[in-house]
A and B are shown apart, each in its own frame.
Chain A
Amino acid sequence: MKIYTPNIGKIKKTIKETEDTKTFQIELENKILREHFYFDPGEFVLITVFGVGEAPFSISSSPFNKNYFEITARKTGNVTNALFNLKEGDKIGVRGPHGKGYPMDEFEHTNIILISGGCGLAPLKSLIEYVIQKRGCYNKLTLLYGDKTPQNIIYEKEISKWKKIKNFDVHLTVDKGDKKWKGNVGVVTKLINKVKNFENSVVCLCGPPVMMKYSIPELKKKGIEDEDIFVSLERKMQCGLGICCHCNINDVYVCKDGPVFRYLDIKDLSELGW
């Protein structure tokens, strides 16, 4: 199979989230592929900006959405800068969905606690929308989201909608507030104390390694087991299919075995780095 050749997608819409972050609504040109674009929240796509390069992005939209999917990209280098400059109607390359996402079936009838920092909210947004659409199957949903400043907060429109949903608690925090900010200030780990009930709960973490490093001991204190903690990992990627070897951490391949891992399965990997 021509596994490194992307399919063509069209940017249907761009949404400016912050100064350096945009959400892209992407529609695959091929109707059959579009209709068979199945994924679990947490999976990723490889996006090609022709003439520049390819990079992995988590899918941030709901899997129930069949006409298009979304990614949210933060400017950090060549590909992300070029992507940022693309306009509605421009064509890009799409490979995937790839990887393993969150085990949504296993989460049924549990409380789900989401902890995210920065762009780590992207895959969790997919999970949130999934849960909202299948509300009856899941118990309480709690989102703890931290970012650098109020200006860095993404998905503002969605967040204000989420806040109104029953049985869905949303807590935000910023490292550094400003005059207008009336919410929490401090690292996201501090928000863990806002959660009242840790029974029958799973926790999904997505964000920088330090966030995971400091959150997990807190969660363990609350009685959460390693097998009920899910982390999303990041490594350099090229093929996205477990072949090129750029993304391995000891014997696991982030692209194929992850990016979402059960903490129990990866906590002892010596190359984890945190």
Chain B
Amino acid sequence: MYYVLKKKDLPKFVKLLNKNFEVIAPVKKNGSLIFDKVSSADEIVKNYINTDYPPKNFFLPDGETIFEYKKSNNIKIKHPGKPKKKVIYGIRPCDVNALLKLDKILGGEFYYRIKRENTKIIAINCTKAGENCFCTSLGDDQLKEGFDLLLTDVGKEFYIKIGSEWGKKLMKHKIFKRTENSFKKTFFECKRFFLAKDLDKKIERNFNTKIWEKHFKKCFSCTACSVVCPMCYCFDLVQVPKSENEGKVKKFWSSCLSKEFSRVAGDFIFRDKRVNRVRQFLSHKFLYGKKHYDEFLCVGCGRCISHCPVGIDYEKFLEEIK
């Protein structure tokens, strides 16, 4: 069973959502397609394969305040209030799958969980793959859960699948029509393809070989790939003093591709060589992720490939590694 929304009713839908939520949707800003707050449907970009940046910052904001402190005789600690209720409209299945995987890792973190709990997910299925997409190899093109509503674009209408009680209630509004019809699924497969099975074992087997040097010697540790990755969550906790007696502790994104990441006192750096840092990046995703969370910490969105200034292509590597 589906519900149908006529595309011309999208403005009404956004208005309806805006009553109780901040609506976050794909918009064009400074030349990039990103997720940002919208107040009406005309701001939303409708024709896109995926956004240039994932909506990661709505769950793991770079530089979010963990707590504030004030020193006097005592130390007073204050936590930030509840975040505003949000709905993310137009998120792709790969990015939702990234959130589901992050839940396994960060679910115990209050800071992450409270944002997850306060954010509704209205996902839109892909009908076309981008040139760098490889989600189908990892099975992350499909959504079985993790959404409140899942929309499929069938031309003039969206077919809507319900994923939660909240979503079900919303469908009572008159702009949605219930239907027992089905629609013709557009089947697509990313052009890029590899066998995901045993990727962890392949990485483990090649850990101490020259393959890293061969593929990644051009990497200059700009960290762009981890910034745009919907699954890169590593962080630093940083004190940001405001005055002598008060300040904040903030959580900043941190990338294993940077030298600083493993630096300890005495300027000792455990991963001094660039390729070893790329190896850490990929091993974390495909070897340690599998071991610790039974997941590959990559959803095949291809953003790392699109953003690498020197043309490093992780997917090609995954195709080649044996």
Chain B binds chain A: yes
Listed in ascending order, the chain A residues whose CB lies under 8 Å from chain B are 1-5, 8, 48, 50-54, 76-77, 80, 91, 93, 234-236, 238-239, 243-246, 248-251, 270-271, 273
B75 with A3: CB separation less than 8 A: no
11 A-B residue pairings within 8 Å (CB atoms)? A2-B111, A4-B111, A50-B69, A50-B75, A91-B75, A238-B235, A238-B236, A243-B109, A248-B280, A248-B288, A273-B270
Chain A nearest CB, measured from B222 CB (Å)? 19
- B71's partner among A50, A234, A251 (CB-CB below 8 A) is A50
Report how many residues on chain B are interfacial, defined by Cβ distance under 8 Å.
46
Listed in ascending order, the chain B residues whose CB lies under 8 Å from chain A are 66-67, 69, 71, 74-75, 77, 79, 105-106, 108-111, 207-208, 234-239, 241, 244-245, 247, 249, 251, 254, 256, 261-266, 270-271, 276, 280, 283-284, 287-288, 291-292
At the interface, is chain A mostly helix, strand, loop or mixed?
A: loop
Supposing A4-B66, A91-B75, A273-B270 touch, asked if A50 and B262 sit within 8 A by C-beta, the answer is: no
- Report the Cα distance A271→B271, complex, angstroms: 8
At the interface, is chain B mostly helix, strand, loop or mixed?
A: mixed
- Report the Cα distance A51→B247, complex, angstroms: 7
- Report the Cα distance A238→B262, complex, angstroms: 10
| Chain A contacts for B77, CB-based, 8 A | 5, 8
- Report the Cα distance A208→B131, complex, angstroms: 49
| Chain B contacts for A246, CB-based, 8 A | 234, 236, 254, 261-262
- A80's partner among B66, B71, B265 (CB-CB below 8 A) is B265
B236 with A50: CB separation less than 8 A: no
Chain A nearest CB, measured from B234 CB (Å)? 4
| Chain A contacts for B266, CB-based, 8 A | 76
Chain A nearest CB, measured from B256 CB (Å)? 6
| Chain B contacts for A93, CB-based, 8 A | 75
| Chain A contacts for B66, CB-based, 8 A | 2, 4-5
Give the residue among A8, A249, A251, A273 with the most B Cβ atoms within 10 A.
Answer: A251
Chain A nearest CB, measured from B32 CB (Å)? 27
Chain B nearest CB, measured from A114 CB (Å)? 24
A54 with B237: CB separation less than 8 A: yes
Chain B nearest CB, measured from A189 CB (Å)? 21
- Report the Cα distance A8→B110, complex, angstroms: 19
- Report the Cα distance A67→B109, complex, angstroms: 29
- Report the Cα distance A250→B261, complex, angstroms: 15
| Chain A contacts for B288, CB-based, 8 A | 248, 251
Give the residue among A8, A246, A273 with the most B Cβ atoms within 10 A.
Answer: A246
- A51's partner among B79, B239, B263, B276 (CB-CB below 8 A) is B239
B265 with A1: CB separation less than 8 A: no
